[in-house]
Amino acid sequence: MIVRSFPPIAAPGARLLILGSMPGIASLEAGQYYAHSRNAFWPIMGQLFGAGSDLPYAERAARLQSQGVAVWDVLQLCVREGSLDSNIRDEVPNDFAAFFAAQPGIGRVLLNGGKATASFRKHAARFLPPAATAITVPSTSPAHAARSLDQKLTLWRAALAA
């Protein structure tokens, strides 16, 4: 089935862009980024930016925006059955030329997992501002349980400090 992503969570002056690949079923049904209850994204955002799962979604998004953090997906649409990144086919990327032109302050891009990294390299890396860096961080997806939340948090924190 054809799956479509959401508009970015972004405010003028963003300095950090966090990119996933494509929302899973729970997120699509909720109309919210990282809505699966076992996804580590919001717990990590809570530790790093005070935008944790205990806050209503709109408040989490506003808190990230106020701290210069944008959230988006590499893909605008794709064909996928279920939620697994490995099932993604027929990728159509988001418009990164326009996004980076509108957000010239982006200095770092965190790529949430391997599929986000592969799709970003394939479709969007050429639009990355010259002074910006892109860093792969461990996927927050519950399908990637090889690392604990604490291990993921440590690696996300290190990527922000790099």
For residue 117, the one-letter residue type is: T
pLDDT reported for residue 85: 74
Question: Where on the phi/psi map is residue 10: left (φ > 0), alpha (ψ -120 to 50), or beta?
Answer: beta
Domain boundaries, given as residue ranges, for the chain: 2-161
If you compute the radius of gyration of the chain from its CA atoms, what whole number of angstroms results?
A: 14
CATH 3.30.70.360 fits domain 2-161 = no
- 107: its two tokens: 């200095």
The count of other CB atoms within 10 Å of the CB of residue 108 is 16
- Per-residue model confidence as pLDDT tens digits over 106-162: 999 999 999 999 999 999 999 999 999 999 999 998 777 788 999 999 999 999 998
For the whole model, what pTM was predicted? 0.95
Res 146: pLDDT: 82
